[in-house]
Structure 1
Amino acid sequence: MDRRISGGLMLMLALLAVIVVPKVLNPASVEGAASVAPPPPPPSAGDCLLEPFSGYTDSDSGRVQTDPAPTFVACTESHGAEIHRIVDVLPPSAGRDGLTAAEHFMGDCWSDLHAEGRIAGTTLHWQWALELQLGVIGPDHRQSAAGQQWAACTVGLSRGEPLTTTFDQLVRNGDPALGSCGRVEPTQGWAMSVPCNEPHDLEWVGYLGIDPGSQLTQDEVDADCTALVTASTGRDAPTTADGIRVATDTTAWYTSADSQSVALPLPPDAAGGWTSCEIRTDGRMLVGSLRRLGDAPLPWAP
């Protein structure tokens, strides 16, 4: 190729580069203002979250803030938590036993979960014994910057297991996933909570609060506990012939902060009481919850 032609071609390419490169590095501007997508709105009760939550985290401002933002999924998919209750703004906590607003909100949520309707077949107002994990979440940093101050109570299984249904169905049906089991320590006389798929000789089915001065008798509570176990297991209440039995255990407490195990009715000087309805074994170990067991064999440990 002629050197002059070659040199001219190189010069033309250089000039083209000078013209094009600045355009690539500095594209033409367009009239108008840049826009940023607004933050998402607050969630709703019943929404499900991919992650389980426990406790809460305060932001620097003292409000509940959650970063990174949780991932929401359909409740028919595997999920770790569900929003049970939401408020636009947490009420102030001043003068409320020294607890934070989030702690009171979590306590109110727990009371809600335990008061979800009377249990079929019983006459007293029992609460299911539930193995649940509660949390409180709030806006992420973008939502907070936009003025959102909501707080939501989340509920999941206590050991973080995933769910594929709603808590309304679980609580009302006494689902096995919510089983509350324990292993009695022979030398201590008390039971240590364990997962229901681990060896245990006790399952808590429900609890009953007793007001001071109540004349509720032991026979009344025992009969109602039997009805509760029948409703929970979906089978006739067990007897000693099955290797398991229904039992109740009542604790009375006093203004002195002392407490003791008692037989009903409560002593006249008691400030209140609490009765648990339980299924106990003859010493053998179970490795599964008895809730909704129906006619299936008892899940004895091998």
Structure 2
Amino acid sequence: MEAATAAATQLGSGSIEYSAQELSVEDTIMVHYTPPREFFREESGLFYCGGYNGWDGEETPVMVPLLRQRDGRYKASITIPNFAKTLDFTVTDGIRYDMGPDDAFYHIRVTHIREEDDAGNIRLYRQDEDGTLTYEGMIETFDPQELERMIDEGIDKVAENIKVETLSTEEQQAVQVMRAEASILGEKLGLGNMQVSEARDAFDFFDDETTGELQVEHLGLVLDRMGLTLDADEIAGLLERHTYATRPEATTVRLSEYMHMWSELDQADTGIDII
């Protein structure tokens, strides 16, 4: 679909708001949209339709339905993939397209981005409004076993330190590093960028305290949210292979263990419902 071409004769400009001032890759944000008055048909459903890093409507878009609220605005939950520097999108009912200010798509800048260097290390940058990048640090590439050990140590440290509802700056940084390292592990296990983001989103949904661990009994809920249909014996098998094998008395599932489970299911391609 060529959104830019389809919108050429029927343009509008509403307004957007989103739920964070500084966005980071792998964040999930809530985008609120106010449509231009009398632009869309009253009964029509609206969709977020876009891409990343200068998307111009030529490539196949990401389509997310917008939910209407009582105040007349619409909202959608959008997960930022780990390669994104900008979110670029239009809003459409399938016939008309709101292309945003100056008819040039809506744009949301990602403040904290990542780039991979020639050695495979992940460099962290802050992206300013004018596109200027400021180096913030680096996540080095490790062999899988060493990386997993570091992830587990990081999770243990964060879980031990989180005693109150509000995290300190140091703890917030530890959580961000943990999330980045978990994504690298997922990719090393053969998962694609979008798969890793979707897996993290599902895990985080039930990780209320952002500890990087879930109660064992919540594993089935996470898998179900990912669209995976597994019975009790299959879930028990995953726990036996990826959790109890190294932690026989465990009552929680760690993020690194969950990534291994998701990789196994992806490679086996079993029990997956397309929803």
Structure ranking higher in helix proportion: 2
Question: Could you say which structure has the greater relative contact order, defined with CA pairs below 8 angstroms and 6 or more residues apart?
Answer: 1
Confirm or deny a common fold (TM above 0.5).
no
User: TM-score normalised to the size of structure 1?
Assistant: 0.28
User: TM-score normalised to the size of structure 2?
Assistant: 0.30
